[in-house]
Structure 1
Amino acid sequence: MRFTSLVALAATAFAAEQGFNYGATFSDGTIKKQADFEREFNSAKNMAGHSFTSARLYTMIQGDTGGVIEAIPAAISTNTSLLLGLWASAGQQTFNNEVTQLGQAVAQYGSAFTDLVVGISVGSEDVYRTTDIGIASNAGTGASPDALIEYVAQVRLAVHDNSLFGKPIGHVDTYNVWTNTSYTQGLIYAVDFLGVDAYPYYENTKSNSIDNAQSIFFADLDAVTAVAAGKPVWITETGWPISGPTENQAVASVQNAETYYKDVACSLFSENVNTWWFTLQDQQPVAPAVIFGLAGAGTPPPTTPLYDVSC
């Protein structure tokens, strides 16, 4: 099946990235080290049915040292491409260190690092966390569009004289934040790409059964593409949980997660759309209330997924 948004997205893609989102800690808060990232990246690359060779990060800072996140040398050693992330909801002082470690990564690893970078995301769902929905869901501290515009400008200045110059700089937020153009139009014009997080499972004011999930996702994507001012729209988070509470008509199960993957991921892959799925593993070592990880538990993450990921 071909979708309007996919036609527009594919036209902007040079070589599609296919990967997962990777947090800086395990589910119990333990900080990941280089060897941990290497195990994850290798498991994703060697996944039975489909090879995932890209990683989306949320921060440039290694939590136990304050230096460069150890996902960077892990990506170099495994030849994993990177959508970098700079955390933008902790204020200017923390963001200063994000920018510092971005520059330090260039100085420390050079082209071995920068050749892997496909983009730089300034923030992740920061605006969502300032909205009524984000506040009601206790999503945490966010940042305004004006603050993010300023952060984007700071990153542009920081990379102007190094080998990251020319890499696209964007922002990641929920589909309904992007479509609220009275609030986000300035941010749309400030970035080079729009990263979209969309989860029909959580859209519980809609008829969000698995039978409708594909159409909901692509309607969300079409809506963002319509306001993107011709800029690339990348899929930075989506997925369906294998376990968790029922959200209106959305039932979490392995079978439904596979259906969603086949309907959404395979469509995106076939149209050459940059996609970072949520997620490889989120239940190691502690299982969260809602589990999206397709690899199951274990160290290293199993390379035999819980459902078929071939397309």
Structure 2
Amino acid sequence: MRFAPILALVATTLAAEKGFNYGATFSDGTIKHQADFEGEFNSAKNMVGNSFPSARLYTMIQGDTNGVIEAIPAAISTKTTLLLGLWASGGVDGFNAEVQHLADAVNQYGTAFTDLVVGISVGSEDVYRTTDLGIASNAGPGVAPNDLVNYVNQVKSAISGTGLSGKPVGHVDTYNTWTNTSYTAGLTAAVDFIGVDAYPYYESSKVTNGIENAQSIFWDDWNAVVAIAQGKPLWLTETGWPVEGPTVGQAVASVDNAARYYSEVGCQLFAANINTWWFTLQDQQPVAPAGGVIFAVTGPGLPPPTTPLYDLSCQ
């Protein structure tokens, strides 16, 4: 059994963030509002066995009002820390709107908001969607690395002199996108942190990806990014194992396998003090997500139940 070298595990803060990823809508496309986010954030903080007091977002825009996403006041009311996300694959005008809503949030909520922000992610898997693999997977529109460099610099300029000044600005992408250094080295140089998404469950094309190998696959992926990171800190922005879904290669979706993956990978990330946002608290509300793959650690219900589907205590 292989583990990541200690130096690869060292976090950049004394107290690492631990949370979940939160979309702007439910699985049926219904837009979330402040009360919905508050219910999710409170359930995550009070989850039996462990507390997850941080939230990673994907956009700054509330879809039905075109105002600031209502996850912001929800985070303020629940004292939930935030890895902000600005959606970068909606074209230049779309990204400019994201940046404007970031500025609006600072102006509207002040330090009650900015004190909760631990970082800002410019995009999510945008470069992956421009690669041959992303195109073959019909993953949708993406953004080339050089354009993302411009977006990163735009955000750094926009927050200069505000309450967000000095907050780290990074980008989130798949581990194998980051390791494609002929394509992404300039982006790696531009960011303050590297957000890594890694799912051994899906890695059927190159490895034997049954649950018994998932831990070593994950750390191999992680260390491959460490090797090209140019000294930038790595944050684990998405990983998990589904409780329901199709078999992918040798990877079987089940509650037992999700529990094992959490115990062998999640608990090690937490122990190593690495900023971690797990995928995910709840993704089957009110219906199963597209593709029928469910990564939720708790069952359906609004607000989400605080009793998880498997043990989260890391004992």
TM-score under structure 2 length normalisation: 0.97
1-structure distance, mates of 2:95, 2:31 = 19
1:134-155, Cα deviation, whole Å (9 max, x unpaired)? 1111111100001100000110
In the other structure, the counterpart of 1:166 is: 166
1:292 pairs with 2:295: yes
Matches of 1:49 and 1:74 in 2, distance apart?
23
Contact 2:34 2:70 in 1 (8 A): yes
Q: Is the 8 A contact 1:235 1:273 kept in 2?
A: yes
Q: Which residue of structure 2 aligns with residue 183 of structure 1?
A: 183
Q: Which runs of 4+ in 1 moved over 4 A?
A: none
Match of 1:138 in 2: 138
Say if 2:187 is the partner of 1:212.
no
Structure 1 pair 6/65, CA: closer, same or farther in 2 (3 Å)?
Answer: farther
Q: CA deviation at 1:66?
A: 1.1
Cα 1:65–1:146 change in 2 (3 A) is same
Q: CA deviation at 1:100?
A: 0.4
Aligned-partner Cα distance in 1 for 2:161–2:299: 43
Q: How many residues align?
A: 311
Q: Distance in 2 between matches of 1:201 and 1:140?
A: 21
Q: Secondary structure, in 3 states, of the residue corresponding to 2:236?
A: strand
Structure 1 gap ranges (5+) = none
Q: Hey, what's the Cα distance between the residues in 1 that align with 2:11 and 2:200?
A: 25
- Asked if 2 retains the 8 angstrom alpha-carbon contact of 1:59 and 1:98, the reply is yes
* 1:235-274 equivalence runs, <5 A: 235-274=236-275
How far apart, in 2, do the equivalents of 1:231 and 1:12 lie? 10
Cα shift at 1:132:
1.0
C-alpha distance in 1 between matches for 2:2 and 2:39: 35
Q: Give the percent of matched residue pairs that are identical in Structure 1 and Structure 2.
A: 72
Higher mean C-alpha displacement, 129-138 vs 245-254: 129-138
Give 2:308's match in structure 1, choosing from 284, 305, 309.
305
AA in 2 matched with 1:239: G
State the Cα distance separating 1:6 from its structure 2 match.
Answer: 4.9
2:229 aligns to what? 228
Q: Structure 1 residue 151 and structure 2 residue 147: aligned?
A: no
C-alpha distance in 2 between matches for 1:5 and 1:108: 43
* Superposition deviation, residue 14 in structure 1: 2.9
Q: Does 1:42 align with 2:57?
A: no
The match for 1:30 is 30
- Secondary structure, aligned partner of 2:10: helix
Is 1:5–1:218's contact at 8 Å kept on the other side of the alignment?
Answer: no
CA deviation profile, 1:67-111 (whole Å, cap 9, x unmatched) = 100000000000000000000001010101100000000000000
Match of 2:78 in 1: 78
How far residue 13 of structure 1 moved from its aligned partner, in angstroms, is 2.9
Q: Distance in 1 between matches of 2:9 and 2:96?
A: 33
Q: CA deviation at 1:9?
A: 3.5
Letter in 1 for 2:257: N
Q: Does residue 14 of the first structure (1) align with residue 17 of the second (2)? A: no
Distance 2:11 2:65 in 1: 41
The CA deviation at 1:7 is 3.0
TM-score by length of 1: 0.98
| Unmatched tracts of structure 2, length 5 or more | none
The residue type paired with residue 267 of structure 1 is Q
Which residues in structure 2 correspond to 1:276-287 (within 5 Å)?
276-287=277-288
